[in-house]
Structure 1
Amino acid sequence: MAKKFIGIDIEKGTLRAVTAEMTKTGPVLTAATLRPLAADESDLSQALSEILGDLAFGDRVATCLPAVGSFFRTLEFPFSDPKKIAAALPLELAGQVPNGEDLEFDFLAARPQDGQFSIAAAAVKKSAAAAMAEKFQEAGHPLHLLDLAPFAWVAGLRKHVDKGVLATLNQKEVVLARIEDGQVADYRSLPRRANLDTQKIASLMMREYLALAHAGKHPPLPLILIGSGVTNELRQTLSDAGLSVQVPSLKLAGEPLEPAFLPAAALALRTALPERERNLNFLKGELAPKSEWSGFRRRLIGASVLLGLCLVLLGAGAYTNYAHKMSRADALREEMSNIFRETFPQATVIVDVPAQMRSSLVQLQDRARLLGLGSDRSALSILREISARSPADVTLDVRELSFIGEQLRLDGTTTSFEAINRLSRSLETSPLFRDAQITDAKMGLEGTRVDFRLNLRITPEEFIR
């Protein structure tokens, strides 16, 4: 999910918010929202909560303090180290601004000038900064960046405005700032009275514009207008006075953004700038935003509780399933034991029912083969085969018939050695026997009978077709 940068512009009776999202090519404006406010801004916290909604981790929110009531000075130091400047700044400004104890100071990046470093420094009241931060805390969303007008707008519009006079008109004030090399070189802040018509506002702006332009000793500079007070009539009046009037072309969803939303858009773009560029942010010390984890603490606790409940339910379900299967397994083992006892009543010790049952079945199958049940390779079947294959004129007395694995040993007597050879050749023609070998043959003591031993290899069942 892309990181969001949200600029909040608060003016009398209106709250405007513009969202920018970071892409591979830089920040892009993605949303603009307007929310009416009560005259006393009593519903500001609720409005902030509605507009900001649920922020993701890493999203940043910014606003700025009005220029009225702030202080700005350009100082020179022989060093550019930010830590040294931060330490020396309060002492340097103490004699130049009133009531320095209640002020929060900050400064822009140092610029080399004539062997020294020029520092643009600003100061705001700590009470004003604390009040603004508290409004966001009441809305349930911490404020990450608190800048100052017009510095925040100039920094956000740096890629669009490098030189000129930026004029911001809203319900509270009219601020004109001379921009040099993308930074505020000087500015004027004038409270705006409600009874001023377009002509009087244009005259006031012309006077301050000329003062800023002449102070900078620059050729005619373009006048860039932003804010809710920018109207077509005002633009035309200033153009008729000979000024080059411009409005920054910021686009949202392919359409130009209205001038009233440009301050909020500039704040969103200012928030997206990297910290190394050194812009103003008065949230320091006690006002510094807490770790982003604290903003998500309540949600993390809720998510942890929900995750814990899910794990408990999952564990209970797994245990119930396991217990059911174990109960089923016990029932099946009991049933197998009963069947085994009924089938093999002679068994007195039962240890492993499946193994004992397989062993008993093998023994029964062996006995069945010997008894000639369901097989043509039983002892009776083989005896019948031997009797059928024996020559009719051969007298044969069988003394012993032994099964040894896949072999059959036949011991007996006959009338002559020729009779034994004829019997062997005849049995070899049977499909039940692979071969017949005479292992022993000798004449008896009486001289009329021949004792013999004949080994027959039994053909496996899978080879008998």
Structure 2
Amino acid sequence: MAQRILALEFAGDRVRAAVAERSWNSFTLAGVYDKIRADDEGDLAGALSRLVVEAGQPDIVISALPADLVVKRLLELPFKDARRLHQVVPFALEEHLPFPVDDGAVAFTRVGREGEHTLVMAAMVRKSDLQHHLDLLLKAGLDPKTVTLAPLALAAMLTRAKNGNGAKPMAHLVVEGDEDSTSVVLVDLGGTPRAIRSMQGGLMMSDGSAVSQDAAAPILNSVRQTLLANGEESDQTEVIVAGAAAAYPKVRGLLSDSLAMSVRDGGAFDYTGIFEGSVPNTGKYSSCVAMLLGELPSKPLDLINFRQGEFMFRGRVRGDLSPFYTSGILAAALLAVIIFHFALGVSANLHRLNQVNAEIAAVAGPVLGETDPANARAQLQLGIAKMNKRLNLIGGNLTHSPLDTLVAVSRALPPRFPVQMADVQIDSQGLRVTGQADSFATVDQAKRALDQSGFFGSIEVAHAKAGSDPSKVDFRMDANFKDATPATERDEPGNERDE
């Protein structure tokens, strides 16, 4: 879900704003707005409320303090540890303050490094002025996540836009102004802000015309001194005008004549490398647009933020998942442990399976050759069944071989015994004989002869009856081997002897 970001700036009796929509991979400038205080309104709360109605309720609010209420200094500190910077910056700034440090809210941002030293742009505002600013926003139902300094954000945005277009590296003197105030920021060749000044009064009238030379002289002198005091060469410095004054050629001409330098309109820069889609000339809304860059999805501007300490932002931002980061990290760590444990278990089981397969292959290999260990058991059982079948055919797996059985029968029956054997079956249990005899007495005599041989156990005549030849008797005789199942248990029902 896209988040709606509102950046606000107060300029005299006006409220200016820019709105951007941010998703996880896009950042689009949705619109710019300008509302003026009505004659019957005591402050800007009414204009601010009307602007919010027109722009839509925001998810994130960024606002700028009037630059003339803020003390700014560039400090060089001999360390880069963030914790020490937070401890030292207020005291390093105190000597430049017209009021005690305990009465102010301090904020800073790192703007560069020189060896082991850190360059920070430090700023301080009276706590009473900051509270008044927050109260004004609260009347319109707004709780800003960031309260910053617009000229510094503007200078950073113009530097990024200029460098992003592949232009020759230049120092920038950024002049932002309207009819009530003027701010100047000097950015060196390396992109580091070296000086920032704020002055009462502007270079333009309410109708857009330039002020007189006498009224402009103090401002122009401060701009010239800022440029000279920091040793920047004019041929390496580009003057950029932003804010409401940028829209009027007479103001740009006044600056160009006074400084003897060319002047560019900062609102006409190409910002397509920063925002998605087309971006119109931002003109007097340049500062608001610059503050939006503090919420870029990637590589956001590092804005000064006065919402520190007792003024810390404690609201909730729709779509902001930062309160769940700790829980998410713990859940991710737990999931990683579970996956790692599962992977170790799978790895151990696979290793054990490989060992078992290797042992199966070593055992079954001499018999089956190369085979799949998963099918080794079935193949062994099939092979055993085939071997049993072959042994049955030759009697190799019987307790008494067919040859020994036939020899025993031949010895038991006397020579020229009047019996004809039509079918002889030998299995693991015994002998089954089907044939013809010349009489029932001969059948009984054959039974006794086999019984007396001692080779068989129980002997049963399954049936004996007159045959198709009246002189012959058809019979079937079952003789079990010793310790084998009795013949009656092997016979089918109905196989009884017929007398």
Alignment match, 1:226? 242
Taking structure 1 as reference, are residues 281 and 31 closer, same or farther at Cα in structure 2, changes over 3 Å only?
A: same
2:313 aligns with 289
* Structure 1 residue aligned with 2:303: 279
8 Å contact kept, 1:141–1:295: no
Identical counterparts, % of pairs: 22
- In the alignment, what sits opposite 1:406? none
Distance in 2 separating the partners of 1:228 and 1:272: 25
| Contact 1:109–1:277, Cα closer than 8 Å, also in 2 | no
* Structure 1, unaligned runs of 5 or more: 297-465
**In 1, Cα distance between equivalents of 2:179 and 2:47:** 19
1:243 aligned to which of 256, 261, 271: 261
Say if 1:106 and 1:121, in contact at 8 Å, map to a contact too: yes
Q: Distance in 2 between matches of 1:4 and 1:223?
A: 33
Shift of 1:282: 0.2
Residue of structure 1 equivalent to 2:2: 2
Q: 1:70 and 2:70 equivalent?
A: yes
1:353-381 CA deviation, whole Å, 9 max, x = no partner?
A: xxxxxxxxxxxxxxxxxxxxxxxxxxxxx
What's 1:208 paired with? 222
1:189 counterpart = 2:198? yes
CA RMSD in angstroms, aligned pairs only: 3.2
| 1:140 alignment partner in structure 2 | 141
1:246 & 1:197 partners in 2: Cα distance?
A: 19
Question: Alignment partner of 1:222: what SS?
Answer: strand
The CA deviation at 1:157 is 3.4
Equivalent residues of 1:7, 1:271 under 8 A apart: no
CA–CA distance in structure 2, aligned partners of residues 40 and 157 of structure 1: 38
Partners of 2:315 and 2:298 in 1: how far apart? 18
> Distance in 1 between the 2:28 and 2:319 partners?
25
Q: CA 1:132 to 1:22, structure 2 compared with 1: closer, same or farther past 3 Å?
A: same
Q: Which aligned pairs between 1:391-410 and structure 2 lie closer than 5 A?
A: none
Q: Distance in 1 between matches of 2:319 and 2:142?
A: 7
Q: Is the 8 Å Cα contact of residues 198 and 234 (structure 1) preserved in structure 2?
A: no
SS in structure 2 opposite 1:217? Answer: coil
- Residues 175-215 of structure 1, C-alpha deviation per residue, up to 9 Å, x if partnerless? 11101233421022221069882544654454333322222
Q: How many residues align?
A: 294
Instruction: State the partner residue of 2:61.
Output: 61
SS in structure 2 opposite 1:21?
strand
Using a 3 Å threshold, how does the CA distance of structure 1 residues 293 and 259 change in structure 2: closer, same or farther?
closer
- Per-residue deviation, 1:141: 1.9
Question: 2:112 matched to which residue of 1?
Answer: 111
Q: CA deviation at 1:40?
A: 8.4
Task: Find out whether 1:260 has 2:278 as its counterpart.
Answer: no
Shift of 1:76: 2.8
Structure 2: runs of 5+ lacking an equivalent: 164-170, 321-499
Query: For each residue in 1:378-401, what CA deviation from the matched residue of structure 2 results, as whole angstroms up to 9, or x when unmatched?
Result: xxxxxxxxxxxxxxxxxxxxxxxx
**Are the structure 2 counterparts of residues 275 and 134 from structure 1 closer, same or farther at C-alpha, using a change threshold of 3 Å?**
farther
- 1:6 and 1:271 in contact (8 A); partners too: no
Deviations 1:267-286 (A, max 9, x none): 22334376986430001222
Shift in Å, 1:259: 2.0
1:154·1:183 contact (CA, 8 Å) conserved in 2?
no
Aligned partners of 1:11, 1:38: CA distance in 2, in Å?
A: 14
Deviation at 1:258, TM superposition (A): 4.7
What's 2:160 paired with? Answer: 159
Q: Which residue of 1 aligns with 2:17?
A: 17
Instruction: Assess, with a 3 A threshold, how the Cα gap between structure 1 residues 225 and 41 changes in structure 2: closer, same or farther.
Output: farther
